[in-house]
Structure 1
């Protein structure tokens, strides 16, 4: 049976070398509600080294911790603000999946899926802190790469014609590119270091089901 995680279309290679760690957020929006148990029109989750650390969906409408140490170490205000952010992103996805359907002249009865994943990987230094290794900010539509951010050159890239209009608009907004680069290289890394320090003991144990 399908579950919420089955709507994730990317195969994600998060850990590339033994002394790197990763923090990624994955958002999945469906063009319509399927009415199936466990399948939500919108879901969002945080992933730290392949472990889910927080979760939100369009039915429960609340960002919640999925690790005990997340619940214990982060104050209630973090979850309040996180819930507000996820609700805002849900609205953004609802608007933009309709824009894409109209742009591609797709009907309203077929199912379409818009996803966004962004985050960072850090390499552990001798002092125990992590330095930026690489970032990721990319979108897919119906399982196909749609738009991604080239962090090295601070430019949006796309392999599909349908995304060229969005690429042009986003490339013309320097503040968006500066924010995206700054988030990946700085803010994301700050959270990665913090979360890793909070969950270090548990994270040294491989996730259940891993090889």
Structure 2
């Protein structure tokens, strides 16, 4: 069992990713019409939006890109300003295709690659989405576009007819993208290759609810957490949650255990085990009723805060809601797209022929 777990974690550990998300919106008040973000291993490293109209580094280690090429940010800014205008037109085109007039609409693209630094295996991806649904994707194997809905067929035929475009896209996703991923990982080595262990807690909504083992504050996101009985991993009565990102760039995850059929005397036989990729020791948390935090405990804390007048000011609440809306619009769906200009040493997007068509109107 331990050997299998070690091999599984080792396999996960060596996979890295470079992804870009472009989001344009229509009908959303007090929100940028266009937002672009780039992420390395799910850590945001560059950002642009139509309010500032300026590309900005989000990680200090990305300053090394500017040291290599002083025009890096200005070139990104100019390109994304042009892309912003194209995306605005794309929403108008999409609304016509779907017979829509007003309302809130979201057009997204997400693109990039995964790279396994042990096997050198590369997986590229390139998708479009509209209003939270898949719209169009590029198949690297056949070098053709896949129209996921009827409204995308027009665009599929247009782009499939340009074979040079397909070749450039495949070259980008299988060669250029991994090259830039390796460069960025090297820039952020001290951050991206660090390990941080989490704090682990036992939580329960009520005495009849499943017990949740919750780990937060770990890095990277390559980790495993399981419930065990007598040291053996459990599968029945166990519900695993997804790994989620914290505001500080670390991660959290949880695993629920249904104890409805377990007598209290047997609780001592259960534990929650967390293991982080690259770290040998396990974090083992014994199932102990005294250690479980419940909703009743949290309600008492809330009452104390209210009685002490520790209430969020209205302005803070408004700002928080704005941030949540931004995150929802940018990351509510996973759509993929990618671009790179050939012949420019430090550019991060598609070859010029690809750029000219992918910064396009969806006609």
Matched with 2:160 is 171
Distance 1:197 1:180 in 2: 24
* 2:35 and 2:47 in contact (8 A); partners too: yes
Matched with 2:91 is 97
For the pair shown, the structure with the greater C-alpha radius of gyration is 2
**What displacement does 1:132 show?**
4.5
**What displacement does 1:194 show?**
0.3
Quick check: 1:142 aligned with 2:134?
no
Distance 2:157 2:132 in 1: 22
Q: Which moved more, 1:77-86 or 1:65-74?
A: 65-74
**Counterpart pick for 2:113 among 82, 102, 120:** 120
TM-score, structure 2 as length reference: 0.50
| Number of positions where the alignment pairs a residue of Structure 1 with one of Structure 2 | 188
Secondary structure of the residue aligned to 1:61 is coil
Distance 2:41 2:83 in 1: 23
Q: Are the structure 2 counterparts of residues 63 and 42 from structure 1 closer, same or farther at C-alpha, using a change threshold of 3 Å? A: same
Q: Give CA-to-partner distance per residue, 1:134-188, whole Å, 9 cap, x none.
A: 0010000000000000111111112211111111111111121112111111111
Matched with 1:66 is 58
Distance 1:66 1:160 in 2: 35
Distance 1:55 1:35 in 2: 20
TM-score, structure 1 as length reference: 0.84
C-alpha root-mean-square deviation of aligned residues, in Å? 1.6
Matched with 1:57 is 49
**Counterpart pick for 2:39 among 36, 42, 47:** 47
* 1:132 and 1:189 in contact (8 A); partners too: no
Distance 1:210 1:116 in 2: 26
Quick check: 1:110 aligned with 2:152?
no
Distance 1:175 1:104 in 2: 30
Which segments of 5 or more consecutive residues in structure 2 lack a partner in the other structure?
Answer: 1-10, 195-218, 220-248, 254-363
Q: How does 1:76-91 map to 2 (within 5 A)?
A: 76-91=70-85
Secondary structure of the residue aligned to 1:17 is helix
Q: Give CA-to-partner distance per residue, 1:26-56, whole Å, 9 cap, x none.
A: 0000023x332xx311100001001000000
Matched with 1:21 is 16
* 2:65 and 2:72 in contact (8 A); partners too: no
Secondary structure of the residue aligned to 1:182 is helix
Distance 1:154 1:148 in 2: 11
Distance 2:76 2:85 in 1: 14
